[in-house]
């Protein structure tokens, strides 16, 4: 009897620990598109680190605005203290407990900062990794830029830098999680709805149910 009660208490407190899925992949691989689809069917809040940084850049009086713009335009990565604090605040503000963290952690500084500040406050479920060729990703981002995305990094020069950063800094992070058996690789070269079918398989095989 006592052990059953203790088990229930443990489960209750476990549920309180926010659960996160990191969503990684090259610029234009479809992270944001898939996160929107996931958050419609699953009980996960989509938090895009890039969107949070772009919002902070626009916030009147932000002490980081200029630095963020410079980093984004140059395809460089913003110091983790800034990004992690924006993510933490957004998690708290949502009042929810399950999060898709889109586009983070993307380098060693991000990983170490998250591990220092957040890893014992959260549970990492797995890492979704969208695999897509450089050619296709570039075509998608340039297409989005031509269609008026307004993103200061959807141009050939910034894209070249974003890709270099992705290969040099982000791939080692994906490999780090892969060695821990946490990476779910997704073929992101097909149409969005087809990609989403693979995503659903990944969620299902991790025991996560559709809610809507």
Distances (CA, A) of 51 to 34, 68, 118, 176: 15, 11, 20, 25
12-51 mask for Mg ion (x: CB under 5 A)?
-------------------xx-------------------
Q: With binding defined as CB under 6 A, does residue 32 bind ligand UP5? A: yes
The candidate with the shortest Cα–Cα distance to 127, out of 152, 161, 157, 103, is 103
Q: With binding defined as CB under 6 A, does residue 195 bind ligand UP5? A: yes
How far, in Å, CA of 56 to CA of 50, rounded?
10
Residue 14 or 164 with smaller CB distance to ligand UP5: 164
State the nearest-atom distance from the C-beta of 14 to ligand UP5, in Å. 27
State the binding partner of 162 from Mg ion, ligand UP5, none, CB within 5 to 8 A by kind: ligand UP5
How far, in Å, CA of 52 to CA of 65, rounded?
12
**E runs forming strands in the chain:** 19-25, 45-48, 98-102, 123-131, 183-187
Q: With binding defined as CB under 6 A, does residue 145 bind ligand UP5? A: no
How far, in Å, CA of 162 to CA of 165, rounded?
5
Contacts of residue 187, Cβ cutoff 8 Å, sequence gap at least 6 = 131, 195, 198
40-79 mask for ligand UP5 (x: CB under 6 A)?
--------xxx--x-----------------xx--xxxx-
| Contact residues: ligand UP5, CB under 6 A | 25, 27-33, 48-50, 53, 71-72, 75-78, 83, 103-104, 106, 110, 140-141, 144, 153, 162, 188, 191-192, 195
| Contact residues: Mg ion, CB under 5 A | 31-32
């Amino acid at each position: 009897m006592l052990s059953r009660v203790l088990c229930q208490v443990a489960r209750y407190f476990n549920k309180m620990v926010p659960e996160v899925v990191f969503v990684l992949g090259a610029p234009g691989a479809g992270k944001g598109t898939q996160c929107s689809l996931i958050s419609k069917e699953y009980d996960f809040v989509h938090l895009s680190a890039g969107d949070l940084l772009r919002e902070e850049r626009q916030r009147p009086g932000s002490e980081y605005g200029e630095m963020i713009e410079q980093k984004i335009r140059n395809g460089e990565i913003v110091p983790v203290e800034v990004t992690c604090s924006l993510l933490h605040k957004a998690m708290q503000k949502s009042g929810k407990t399950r999060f898709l963290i889109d586009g983070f952690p993307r380098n060693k500084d991000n990983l170490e900062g998250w591990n220092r500040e957040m890893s014992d406050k959260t549970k990492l479920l797995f890492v979704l990794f969208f695999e897509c060729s450089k050619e296709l990703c570039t075509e998608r981002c340039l297409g989005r830029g031509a269609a008026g995305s307004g993103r200061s990094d959807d141009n050939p020069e910034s894209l070249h830098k974003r890709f270099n950063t992705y290969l040099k800094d982000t791939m080692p992070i994906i490999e780090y999680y892969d060695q821990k058996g946490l990476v779910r690789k997704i073929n992101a070269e097909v149409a969005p709805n087809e990609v989403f079918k693979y995503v659903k398989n990944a969620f299902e095989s991790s025991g996560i149910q559709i809610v809507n």
